[in-house]
Structures are given as C-alpha cells and as structure tokens.
Amino acid sequence: MTAAIGAWRGWAQAAMDLFLPCACVVCGRLNDRSDRGLACARCWNRVVPLPAPRCDRCGHPTGPRRCTWCDLLPAFVRCARSLCWVDRGSGSALVHELKYGGWHALAAPMATRMARLQWPEDVVRERTALVAVPLAGARERERGFNQSARLAHALSPHWHTPVWGDVLVRARATETQTRLTPEARRRNVSGAFRAVAGTRARLRGAHVMLVDDVVTTGATLVECASALLDGGARIVSFVTFGRAPASGDR
C-alpha cells in the first residue's frame, strides 16, 4: 500500500512538472526537480556576499584601509550587518522580486541566510526585539505588504526574538531614495519617523534590531534609530539583506 501511494505521488508530481512547470521568479529558467522554492539554486548561488575582512562594527569590507562606512553611523548604532552586495550577482534581482514582483514568500529564504550572519557576542546576548523600517501608508497599500516587516517576521524564529510592529511609524511620506545623493537622502528622511506614543516603557533600555531589505548610505536606518532612541531605546543595530557599495569599495 505504501509503495503504491509513493508511486502515485511520483506520477502526480511528474504530471505537474509536465503540464504546470515551475520557473524561477528571478531568472525565469524552468526549475530542476530539486528546486522547490520560488528562486532556483543557481540564483541563490549567484548572491555575492560581502568579502572579508570586514569591520567588526559595521560589517563593511575594509581591506587594507581604515573602515570609512562606520563614519556614517552615529555612536548609538552598535552594529550593522548585511548579507550581500546588490550591485552584482542576483542580490538586487531577489530584492526587486520581493518588493515589486509581489513574491513576498521570498522573505523566508532571504531571512534564513540573514540569520547566519555573525555578530559580536554582546549583540547576540542583548538584542531585545526586531523592528522593521515602516513604509508610508500609501506605498504599503499599493504594494500590499511591507517587505522589511516580512523579513523581520521571518528572522524572528531563527533568533528567538520578537517583532515589535507597533513602536515605530512614519511621520510623513518621503520621496524614493533611489536616485538621491547622500546629502539629499539625509534631508529627505529627516524627521520622517517617530516612536509611537505609549511605547516608552517597552523601549526603555532595549537593544533594538532594525530590519530593512537594502542599506545604501544608512540615512533611513539612522533616522529610524534616532526616533527609537528618542522613544526610550538604549541602543540600535541594523540588519539588511543587501548593501550598496560605498565609493572606493573593492
């Protein structure tokens, strides 16, 4: 009986593969039998991790030079980590399909890989909660979800750390950061976030992990961190799937 059920399942799967073949949402290639996710193994293998050596604080590749990416971070940001570059490989395409392609289920395998990032011991010991960078209301309604929140909720069980989705909000809508200069990015998000009234008791003394899909100059994350600090948090760290290179990076 068991053998018959197994054979039937095999035939059913073969029929599905023949008449309803699955394709990778990133590259469009038909999936192999071993590819059961939305993105194929080849696309995941083309994700380009940040090379070593990396700065122990901000996680940015340093090479023989002093780390200059840390200069972008104020003292209340303890640590930052990103999985991969988004200017090469498949990292950017994965983020694009998560955000704009509507494939929000990509957040789970992206978070699984983010969860393997190495952190200083004090960050692992102290992290209190995960907080996603909020989207503007109109943008979230248009997209149907907040990709950063999806990543945070997918990370939560890996780190046994709760998601606090009600402590940080956008105070106003902002222009998209994509084509702005670093200085324009900072002006664009200045005062754009605030801690929610009534959450100070929960935030007091907390080491909050801010979650986003991509970091470029860090302007948005720093503004969010500043709002959380004003709301009572003690210190903040950043975690993102992708990172855009800084000027002069290898």
- What's the rounded mean pLDDT across residues 43-47? 96
Per-residue pLDDT band at 35 (split at 50, 70, 90): confident
Q: Taking the model in full, what pTM does it have?
A: 0.86
Place of tokens 């990292």: 91
Q: Evaluate whether 217 touches 68 at the Cβ level (below 8 Å).
A: no
CA angle 98, 101, 105 (to 5 degrees): 45
Per-residue pLDDT band at 178 (split at 50, 70, 90): low
What one-character DSSP code corresponds to residue 237? Answer: E
Q: How far apart are the first and last CA of the chain?
A: 59
Domain boundaries, the chain: 1-45, 48-243
DSSP states along 2-53: HHHHHHHHHHHHHHHHHHS--B-TTT-PBPPTT--SSS-HHHHHT--BPPSS
Phi, psi angle pair for 165, to nearest 5°: -95, 5
- pLDDT tens digit sequence for 48-79: 999 999 999 999 998 666 788 888 899 999 99
Q: Which CATH number fits domain 48-243: 3.30.70, 2.60.40, 3.40.50, 3.40.1620?
A: 3.40.50
